[in-house]
Structure 1
Amino acid sequence: MRAAPGGMRTTAAARARRAAPCLAFCRAGRLRLARGRAGVYGAAMLPARRSPAPAPVLPARPSVVPLAATALLVALAALSASCARGPGGRGRGFSMPPMPVEVAEAAPRTVRDQFRALGSIESDEIIEVVSELNATVARLPFVEGQAVAQGDLLAQLDDREIRAESDRAEARRDQARLNFERARRLHESQAASQQDLDEAQTALRVAEADAAIARARLDKTRIRAPFAGLVGRRRVSPGAYLRAGDVVTELARVDEMKVTFNAPERYAGELRPGIGVEVAVPAYPGLRFPGRISVVDPIVNPDTRTVALVARIPNPQRRLRPGMSADVAVTLSERTRALTVPDEAVFAEGNQSFVYVVKADSTVTRAAVALGTRDSAQVEVTAGLEPGAMIVRTGHQKLFEGAKVMPLTAAAMMGGAPDGPGGGRPGARGGGAAGGRGR
């Protein structure tokens, strides 16, 4: 019995579709080749099903289905053989295309060992300007919030009574001086005793002291700035009666500011006066104010286990104000030629860190590295790399020892061209790793 022609065509087409993946995967193609060859000829031997009613027998036509299936299997066998041959005809297996990766250069840069702390900005000097006398305020010639020079008048008190007392003290001093001169001449002519001369001299000294006290009281009616700085708001108004100790205003020196902050006790052995700091404040984003530590408290706070520090920050433009919060970065050490790589280029296996180095032939090798200071963007490499080595920045998760890559710079990854012909080549900079180790 022969199989129906329609059934044979349907079965052969299904087998051809199942054999299609052999075009991409050679080994699977060879396996399916064997199975397909056995299946085709087996299907050709199957008996046809009987139909319930006899059908008219048509003239037999020569079937081409077995011949088509055989031709397909022969083509698949030829494809499998070509996949197993290299360019020179030698069998080398399937070759993966180069993997595009972003690369970066291991370059020297300045690295700082830092810690950060939150601090508070204070004036280098700040005082409350007070009255030393009981007197009425005559006038306040300063402008609130403005800069004043040393010696500028801040307040004038009513000085009429005090001035009169000063004038009287000066008059008594002048009289005492005349009496002393007269006694001295009489003593020289032996008309006055030594005791008379001593009494006249003592009276003169007392009168001079009284005049100096009166003059000092008179000077205190004019309250002046003891140093240059910024004055605060007025605490009193003209006409108000002040008692000794009443506050007129505040005065702050702002040409140099102080920043007070605390450091963890683990840094106590490295902290010393003169260490550089950088201060950032919310009022001026992006600006950094350099300064130096001036005070290191010798006592560690037993409650917080921290060391109190004071740093001085030059403030020539007077941008910093007392009371501002400050983000303080303390630089414990600095290396100007430290070798660094992007942080994302480093991966770890156990306790060992690695990077992939791109060699001159655009293949990669895994290099063991020793790390130093690390921040959010860069990491210092203390051993395992040479300056100028080209390393894989992103994409190392899919790589293996000896993998072929297509190096791309960051600009190329954003849409530019590959770095160099044929996908980029690191050139002489490749292969600069030390201590590399394969899988």
Structure 2
Amino acid sequence: MRMQIRVAEILRIFSLTLAFVLGCDSGEPASTLPIPVTVFNLSEIAPMSESRYAAILEPDSKVQVSSQAEGLVEAIAQREGPDGQARDLQGGDRVTQDSLLAVIESDSYEQRLGESQSDLARARALDAEQTANWERSKALFSQQVIPQSQYDTAKASYESARADASRAQHAVEESQIQLGHTRVTSPLSGVVLSRGVEVGDFAHQGTTLFQIGDIRKVKAVFGAPAPLAAHLEVGMPIHMTIESFRAEGFVGKVSQVAPQTDRRSGVFDVDVSLPNPGGRLKPGLVAEVEIPNDVMVRGGFEPISVPLQSIVRSPERPGEHVVFVVDIGENDRGIAVMRQVELGPPLGDHILVERGLESDSLVVVRGSTILTNGAAVRLIP
């Protein structure tokens, strides 16, 4: 206990002594000493020729393959794995239109089809019998051999038998369709994006079994702020780089600008389509789309990038960000001014600032986390 008290007392005396020494050395009270910071001078940076936005590659179109039958999943189509062994069809595998994807148990559907076929056979036999009776009745009635009432009865029986046979035929066709639904096939040629069931799972009507994507063309999807989205036109060429293919350049065309903002991000989704011969560009790859500077300027942006470490969470607006810039005075001293900024995508160890900074600002890089608006600062190398 005495040792703890002694350590605390020593620390208190050391702190007071240090504050006194610093105050005497600077000639200023310790509380008013300017905070040393390093800055990033935006005026010394070459203007950006374009701005880059992160995008994700998606199939040009995709469909969900849902179960139209109910029952246990008996089998899933097989593919040869890298070890030479058969495995279940999975994400990334290619499929062709009408190729088999999965099989759902069919016993109940086969039984239903057998029953409907038996009903159809009986209905057809009765229809043939009533048709023959109707033909005889017509001949006899025309010879005035039978009365009107007997003729009407024969006609009604014929029409009823004919209607029953038609309904039985429809029931057989419907049973055949339902049985066909137990063999799940691909509606298009493409690649499996996901599989939602395993062998032994029970599939209800509407259960999503697979998602298939058409990747003969792909699209890079990125989010654009409203002012920029307003200046992106369908058909506009867009250059991009794609991970795994960074040595190559790709050019796509804007195929769609969403009519409304995404509820979560508050930006407009923009689709940039590009051909994909051979299907080498896979869904999920990350791309960087390059928006020319003149388009950014027309959208009211001055593309500026700053070091990531200069970005600070806003103390006043949760979820938003600020940077500190220096209003410089004499002797490398100045005042820190807090600026609210709108951020774009990261660019390596920098990040794009879409709004909130002037192109000649002195942005605080080191020391920004301990600053407050209006704090005195001193520039250091």
Instruction: Output the TM-score relative to the length of structure 1.
Output: 0.44
Amino acid in structure 2 at the alignment position of 1:152 = S
Q: Which residue of 1 aligns with 2:220?
A: 259
* 1:276/1:180 CA distance change after superposition, 3 Å: farther
Cα distance change, pair 248–285 in 1 and its aligned pair in 2 (3 A): same
Deviations 1:236-294 (A, max 9, x none): 44344433344444322222222222334444554322112233222221223322212
SS at match of 2:277: coil
Query: Which range is displaced more, 267-276 or 313-322?
Result: 267-276
For the residues of structure 1 that align with 2:269 and 2:220, how far apart are their CA atoms? 11
1:157 aligns with one of 94, 104, 107:
104
Cα separation, 1, equivalents of 2:100 and 2:223: 39
Question: How much has 1:159 moved relative to structure 2?
Answer: 1.5
1:195 matched to 2:167? The reply is: no
Identify the residue that residue 329 of structure 1 maps to in structure 2.
290
Report how far residue 127 of structure 1 moved: 3.9
Cα deviation for residue 221 of structure 1 reads 0.9
- Give, as a single letter, the amino acid of the residue that structure 2 aligns with 1:297: A
- In structure 1, C-alpha distance between the alignment counterparts of 2:246 and 2:183, rounded to whole Å: 42
Q: 2:248 matched to 1:287? A: yes
Unpaired stretches in structure 2, ≥5 consecutive residues: 1-48, 80-89, 139-150, 296-381
Counterpart in the other structure of 1:420? none
**1:186 corresponds to 2:133:** yes
Q: CA deviation at 1:151?
A: 0.6
Tell me: CA distance 1:127–1:163, structure 2 relative to 1, closer, same or farther (3 Å).
same
**Are 1:131 and 2:67 counterparts?**
yes
Change (3 A) 1:213 1:328: same
Q: How far does the alpha carbon of each residue in 1:185-215 deviate from its partner, in whole angstroms, 9 at most, with x for none? A: 3323325533222212221221122112211
Query: Do 1:156 and 1:223's aligned partners in 2 also have CA atoms closer than 8 Å?
Result: yes
- Distance in 2 separating the partners of 1:130 and 1:216: 15
Query: Offset at 1:169?
Result: 1.0
Question: Unaligned stretches of 5+ in structure 1?
Answer: 1-112, 335-439
Deviation at 1:314, TM superposition (A): 1.7
Report the AA paired with residue 150 of structure 1.
Q
Write the distance in 2 (CA, Å) between the matches of 1:308 and 1:161.
Answer: 46
Q: Is the 8 A contact 1:151 1:224 kept in 2?
A: yes
Larger mean Cα displacement after TM superposition, 303-312 or 266-275 = 303-312
Aligned 8 A contact 2:55 2:287 in 1 = yes
Partner of 1:272: 233
Query: Match for 1:119: what amino acid?
Result: A
* 1:118 has 2:54 as partner: yes
Query: Partner residue of 1:411?
Result: none
Whole-angstrom distance in 2 between the partners of 1:300 and 1:250? 25
CA distance in structure 2 between the aligned counterparts of 1:245 and 1:218, rounded to whole angstroms: 16
Q: Name the TM-score, length of structure 2 as normaliser.
A: 0.50
Q: Distance in 2 between matches of 1:258 and 1:205?
A: 49
| Alpha-carbon distance between aligned partners in 2 of 1:217 and 1:264, rounded to the nearest angstrom | 48
C-alpha spacing 1:115/1:183, structure 2 compared with 1 (3 Å) = farther
SS at match of 1:189: helix
1:244 maps onto 2:244 in alignment: no
Give the one of 67, 77, 84 matched to 1:141: 77
Whole-Å separation in 2 of the counterparts to 1:312 and 1:332: 21
Letter in 1 for 2:119: R
Letter in 2 for 1:171: S
Match of 2:116 in 1: 169
Equivalent residues of 2:194, 2:212 under 8 A apart:
no
Local SS of the residue matching 1:279: strand
Contact persistence 1:134–1:241 (CA under 8 A): yes
**CA radius of gyration, larger in:** 1
1:341 is matched with none
Match in the other structure for 2:192: 231
- AA at the equivalent of 1:123: P
Q: Which secondary structure state, in structure 1, belongs to the residue aligned with residue 245 of structure 2?
A: coil
Q: CA deviation at 1:155?
A: 0.8
Q: What is the one-letter code of the residue matched to 2:129? A: R
Residues 398-437 of structure 1: pairs in structure 2 closer than 5 A: none
Distance in 2 between residues matched to 1:299 and 1:235, nearest whole Å: 30
Equivalent pair of 1:270/1:332 in contact (CA under 8 Å): no
Tell me, yes or no, if the aligned pair for 1:142 and 1:153 is still in contact at 8 Å.
Answer: no
Matching residue of 2:4? none
Report the AA paired with residue 319 of structure 1: R
Query: Offset of 1:134 from its aligned partner?
Result: 2.7
**Equivalent position amino acid for 2:137 in 1:** Q
Quick one: structure 1 residues 194 and 127, their matched pair in 2 at CA, closer, same or farther if it must change by over 3 Å? same
CA distance in 1, matches of 2:201, 2:261: 48
Distance 2:201 2:177 in 1: 22
Structure with more contact order per residue of length (Cα contacts < 8 Å, sep ≥ 6)? 2
Amino acid at match of 2:272: A
User: Which residue in the other structure is 2:34 paired with?
Assistant: none
1:222 maps onto 2:183 in alignment: yes
